[in-house]
Amino acid sequence: MPQTILGKKVAAGEITSIEEILSKGLRIQEAGIVKKLLPDLKTEVIDVGIIQKMTPNGQSTRFKSLVAAGNQNGWLGIGMGKSKQMRIAIEKANNAAYLNVSPVKLGCGSWECRCSEKHSVPFKVKGKGGSVTIEILPGPRGLGLVAGGKIRNLLKMAGLKDAWTTAKGSTPTMGSTSKALMECFRQTFSQG
């Protein structure tokens, strides 16, 4: 049941695409809006961690989870959730990933390929999140994704098939790594 005005317009069929929402500069406040407009979006748990801190009453334990939502065709969102129960933390991260979905500009920017298919990034992009810096270079068709395991999964979820990547900093920290990757994807729209 939609609660916001935007959610009611989507349910009524007045708004039919997520591009229309983004072009008007409207803020998506319900995960159901994205689920309706992008039904092929799939989620994947990237990281689950335990947070412990000492309080006067003893140790308090909480869970922190990171979830990615992508349709392998130019849309990706990453969300983080925290809770005392792991299941609730994953649900919160799942909703946050749906709310943070943003477009990824795909193209062929490789000088070795120069085809017109959308299999890589259109040009070199660089993003920074925390101590992590990621650079994505366009690759020719057939190259595949030259990246580490979890970064490769995020690139696949965004829809990239061929690219070179370099990552510097504390890349096992998936929160910073995913922020740097999302910054790279934002650069695809700000530069070109």
Instruction: Give ranges for CATH 3.30.230.10 in the chain.
Output: 125-191
Residue 184 pLDDT: 93
Pairing of strands 163-168, 145-146: parallel
**Can you give the pTM of this predicted structure?**
0.90
- pLDDT tens, position by position, 112-142: 887 888 999 999 999 999 999 999 999 999 9
CA angle, 170 as apex, 167 and 171 as ends, to 5°?
50
- pLDDT tens, position by position, 2-57: 889 999 999 999 989 999 998 888 899 999 999 999 999 999 999 999 999 999 99
Residue 64 pLDDT: 97
Segment 153-172 mean pLDDT: 94
Between CA 62 and CA 12 the distance in angstroms is: 40
Reading the block at residue 59, the tokens are: 């140790």
Between CA 155 and CA 122 the distance in angstroms is: 14
Of 107, 115, 116, 114, give the one whose Cα is nearest residue 158. 107
Locate all alpha helices (DSSP H) within the chain, ordered by sequence. 5-12, 18-24, 31-37, 86-99, 149-158, 174-191
Cβ atoms within 10 Å, residue 154: 24
Between CA 139 and CA 119 the distance in angstroms is: 9
Q: Does domain 125-191 have CATH number 3.30.230.10?
A: yes
* Position 192 confidence tier, pLDDT thresholds 50, 70, 90: low
